[in-house]
Structure 1
Amino acid sequence: MRGQHVVRVAGVAGLAGVSVLHAVWATGSPWPARSAHDLAEAVVGQADAVPGAFPTALVAAGTAGAGLLAAGAFGGGSLQRGGVRLVAALFGLRAALGGEVALTVLKLPPAGPRFRTLDRRYYRPAAAALGAVLCFSTLP
């Protein structure tokens, strides 16, 4: 049970990190990038395709809600486990399909080389790890 607790904490921490990062971006801050241009190239692939504050805040709220769900804030049981497994599957899908597909689904322009490199090296592995951790946290 101790191992599962550690896995759950890791999943909740990962979701909290994603949420906080998107909340910071929703305020207009480019952190940790030096400029909005650099941030846009890194996270959406094109400097002129920055999502607005509202959709970015929705991602922050959604991942915060998913973190609360994973933490058990809404209770336990099969409904909670199913919700966490759905979130895990979404992160697994993001990892498997990659950022290019995500950009297409979001109706954003194709990614530039910087985004493709970051996606391959960091974003896809991070999404896979978070999906796996969340999935393992639901095992009996």
Structure 2
Amino acid sequence: FAPSCSRDTLSNLGRLLADGEQDGLLCQTHISENKNEVELVKQLFPECSSYAHVYDVHNLLTPRTVLAHAIHLTEDEIALIKSRECGVSHCPTSNMALGSGSLWVRHLLDEGVKVGLGTDVSGGYDVNVLERRGWRV
């Protein structure tokens, strides 16, 4: 989660992810869950052009990366995430419970981004992913 990490921490995580490729190490983090978070990332990382770029310059966008939420992505970020073959975890109950907004799942799929269904553990009122099947996708 970029807002809670220093540049050194993000760089070290990127190295760890690269070193763990042979072992199938995965990376999961949040991105663009709400507009205030996006603005905070801009303030914390002014040298980066976007939230996704923060992760990219630290080598954290890979085919083994899953990005939760992704509600407020720009078209450039969508293209970057697709080019790095990352996945997006759609967390509808969390997004609704926290008032974060709606993920445009169809648009991401049309753009060739892999999208799965998640719960965000404590962000909603139920962590049962099977119960999420009927939610808006």
Between structure 1 and structure 2, the one with the greater Rg is 1
* TM-score of the aligned structures, taking structure 2 as reference length: 0.28
TM-score by structure 1 length? 0.28
